[in-house]
Amino acid sequence: MKRDIREMVIVITGASAGIGKALAEQLSAAGAKLALAARREDRLNQLNAQLGGRHLVIPTDVSRADQCERLIQLAADHFGRLDTLICNAGYGLPRPAAQMSRQEYEAIFQTNLFGTIDCIRPAVPIMGRQDLRDGYRGQIVIVSSAAGRRGLPWFGAYSATKAAQLSLAESLRVELRSMNIAVTSVHPIGTDTDFFTTAEKLSGATIPPRSAVERHQSADTVARAILRGIQHPKPEIWPLRVARILVGMGILMPRLTDWVMSKHRRAMGRANEQRIVP
Ligand SMILES: NC(=O)c1ccc[n+]([C@@H]2O[C@H](COP(=O)([O-])OP(=O)(O)OC[C@H]3O[C@@H](n4cnc5c(N)ncnc54)[C@H](OP(=O)(O)O)[C@@H]3O)[C@@H](O)[C@H]2O)c1
């Protein structure tokens, strides 16, 4: 059965840019009622105005547990229910894994992992109390990454947060099934958003431009795949389907995958030789 998105109450973290913003645009066009969350309030207000001003803007720093709880409570109080929570806020910090400080590890886990579970924790009891809607009391969508299945050189800490999100999704999916709450993880490959420029700004590293043959996708493509995954809840969404197969094969052949990945490591090393010891 195709679930109806009209009037569905959906919270999106990281709605001020990239995948989250594209999702807000598509879900709004499909008739959903949205709670838009991120730190940059001006961007959220701009987006809401562009979408007709009928959504709820809730400035939120997901690295703060109290702000995650407030986001979920405000959204549920305002709309009277909470159908779908999309945990999408996140960032990357390119650097060799052994050269990142303890504080940098803590900060990236604080946003990407704790920012996910700190929104899920208050959302579950709210979803659990509400009536079924098209067969589900609610759905939790966690935007992980293809890197959640196979770590990337120079993105070790980031990959670890994405793998942790995936493990969380796998556990929650089984735990929440009897409550009719669906749990879906999302695994995009390289996507054209602000992600890479933000990562460069935060780390001071240079990310070399993609080669012409390297596959990547648009934020709209990822958002469309997530929208379909809300209409038809499923365990995992891979917006580029072949990536799922390639990553799966890579897990079976780690030595070969290491060899492929070392090309990426060399490219990052060349682009950053002045800055960071390889
Ligand atoms: N782009 C890719 O290649 C790619 C591939 C796989 C997975 N992903 C994942 O997709 C998700 C979205 O990334 P994107 O590509 O759309 O990147 P983006 O364009 O940089 O957007 C990131 C979003 O996260 C928000 N955010 C970051 N830290 C936050 C915090 N502490 N509290 C609240 N919001 C925060 C940002 O908003 P504010 O700065 O306004 O707070 C922004 O809206 C991330 O989880 C990322 O890991 C991206």
For range 153-179, the mean pLDDT: 98
91 catalytic? Reply is no
pLDDT in the model for residue 212: 60
CB 36 within 8 A of CB 24: yes
pLDDT (mean) for 243-266: 93
Catalytic residue among 91, 105, 136, 158: 158
Does the pLDDT value for residue 259 go beyond 80?
yes
pLDDT of amino acid 262:
92
**Do the Cβ atoms of 148 and 166 come closer than 8 Å?**
yes
What average pLDDT does the structure give for the chain?
95
pTM summary value: 0.96
Q: Which of the 8 DSSP states describes residue 6?
A: T
Q: What is the pLDDT of residues 33-67, one digit of tens each?
A: 999 999 999 999 999 999 999 999 999 999 999 99
- For atom 45 of ligand 1, the residue with the nearest CA is 90
Report the first-to-last Cα separation within the chain, whole angstroms.
52
Q: Ligand 1 site: residues with CB under 6 angstroms?
A: 13-14, 16-20, 38-40, 43, 60-63, 88-91, 111, 143, 145, 188, 190-191, 193-195, 198
> Residues 193-248: pLDDT tens digits?
999 999 999 999 999 887 666 778 999 999 999 999 999 999 999 999 999 999 99
pLDDT at position 219: 98
Summarize pLDDT for 102-143 with one digit per residue, the tens: 999 999 999 999 999 999 999 999 999 999 999 999 999 999
Ligand 1: distance of its center to the CA of 82 in Å?
22
277 has pLDDT over 80: no
What is the 3 state secondary structure string of 89-152?
A: CCCCCCECHHHCCHHHHHHHHHHHHHHHHHHHHHHHHHHHHCCCECCECEEEEEECCHHHCCCC
Percentage of the chain beyond pLDDT 90 is 92
Round to whole Å and give the CA distance between 155 and 229. Answer: 27
How far is the C-alpha of 186 from the C-alpha of 211, rounded, in Å? Answer: 24
Q: How confident is the model at residue 13 (pLDDT cuts 50, 70, 90)?
A: very high
What class has domain 9-271?
alpha beta
pLDDT higher than 90, residue 273? no
